[in-house]
Amino acid sequence: MILCTKMNGNGNDFLVINNMDLKYSGETLSGYTKALCRRRESLGADGILVVEPSDIYDFKMRLFNRDGTEGEMCGNGARCVARYAFIKGIVNKPEMAFETLDGRVDAGVKGTRATLRLSPVDISNLVQDVPASVEGYDFSYTFLTVGVPHAVIFEKNRLDTEDLYRKIGRAIRLRRDLFPEGANINFVSPKEAYETGLDVLTYERGVEDLTLSCGTGSIASAIAAFSAGLTGPVVDVYNPGGLNRVSLVFGPSGKLLPELEGGASYIAEIEASEEALDQYN
């Protein structure tokens, strides 16, 4: 049996596990993720978030994608972890700093929302307006890394169905000639005009499906739009699961310092049985 907490960041849902005593190895957590995150057959989630001790910050966040791979960073997940750590008393103050594979994240929790200040993004490495085609779908993309790799596609025309987005998103994500390490694929269109916000739908690497929200995808889309002169430095990003607000400021090194604000909902405490944990094997 293992105790986990169900949390939701704008439709990106997670199981959170307290591993401050380092009881569970990475291999064990990867197996638990594949067992518990399957929709319909188990608890279902986009991934598992793990809280562990850190030698330098308040704690460490680890992210295991639904397929069992370990990811570097997840914006919506980081908001959920920040609120979880505050609720559970892992930190005793609403302001905190924690460790991820992508570096330090500073977070502030207020009610059911959290704001993150993430690692600087070097936009000198931004790759813009690269033409490509898959499955008869012609597009241009902007590529950047916000903890994890992202391709941002400013849509000329919306696709007709969610299944088409799923098909095209997967086909682009698997183009190893374009993205050797894979990428999250963000389809972006203006809310009404670009100045009023972005509509973003993301096909996530590791989840291998469309998700209701992607925090780093929201940041990547906002940076791409801002760099193209389509928006200002504060961008409202509308995902199917809710609104993420992205704020961009330039640091002294010339890198962008992104902030991400959004919801972090506490849903339930769950005891997963040994049968559930063993069913993947």
Active site residues: 74, 214
Q: 106, 97 in Cβ contact below 8 A? A: yes
Mind giving me the DSSP string for 127-178?
Answer: EEEEEEEETTEEEEEEEEEESEEEEEEE-SS--S-HHHHHHHHHHHHT-TTT
- Helix (H) / strand (E) element for 223: namely helix 215-227
Report CA 2 to chain centroid distance, whole Å: 24
CA distances from 267 to 32, 122, 220 (A): 20, 36, 28
Q: 60, 53 in Cβ contact below 8 A? A: yes
Q: How many CB atoms lie within 10 A of CB 100?
A: 23
CA distances from 134 to 124, 130, 140, 217, 244 (A): 27, 13, 11, 21, 29
Q: How many CB atoms lie within 10 A of CB 271?
A: 9
Strands 113-117 and 12-18 come out as unpaired
